[in-house]
């Protein structure tokens, strides 16, 4: 599955193809050995719809409104492209919080 996802990213970002086009999705799937007819049937069905809708509801409940979106330890979140420095700040803050919690238990 990771190979299909990687190929989808490449198809869109490098090759500039429309991954919303069913034929393009079939090409991507076929390149990774998936059956075109089965892929088309799945994509034209409602299979997986409930899972996607549940995931969308969960994202909205967590106020996720952009991609990429990173959540650290269920307490820190970053949305959108961020610099290395921002990630370092979040990770350092999380580390300090964990150290304080551990010290409080002593």
pLDDT value of residue 28: 94
pLDDT confidence band for 15 (50 / 70 / 90): very high
Instruction: With a cut of 80, say whether residue 31 has pLDDT above it.
Output: yes
Number of continuous H segments (helices) and E segments (strands) in the chain: 5, 2
pLDDT value of residue 81: 86
b/e sequence 51-78, b meaning 16+ C-beta within 10 Å: eeeeeeeeeeeeeeeeeeeeeeeeeeeb
pLDDT value of residue 43: 93
H or E, element range at 90? helix 84-105
Instruction: With a cut of 90, say whether residue 77 has pLDDT above it.
Output: no
The tokens for 55 are 């995931």
């Amino acid at each position: 599955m990771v190979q299909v996802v990687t190929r989808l990213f490449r198809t869109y970002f490098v090759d500039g193809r429309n991954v919303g086009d069913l034929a393009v999705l079939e090409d991507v799937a076929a390149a990774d050995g998936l059956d075109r007819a089965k892929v088309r049937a799945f994509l034209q069905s409602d299979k997986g719809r409930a899972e996607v809708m549940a995931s969308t509801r969960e994202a909205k409940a967590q106020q996720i409104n952009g991609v990429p979106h990173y959540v650290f330890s269920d307490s820190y979140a970053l949305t959108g492209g961020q610099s290395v420095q921002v990630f370092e700040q979040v990770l350092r803050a999380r580390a300090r919080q964990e150290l304080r919690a551990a010290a409080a238990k002593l």
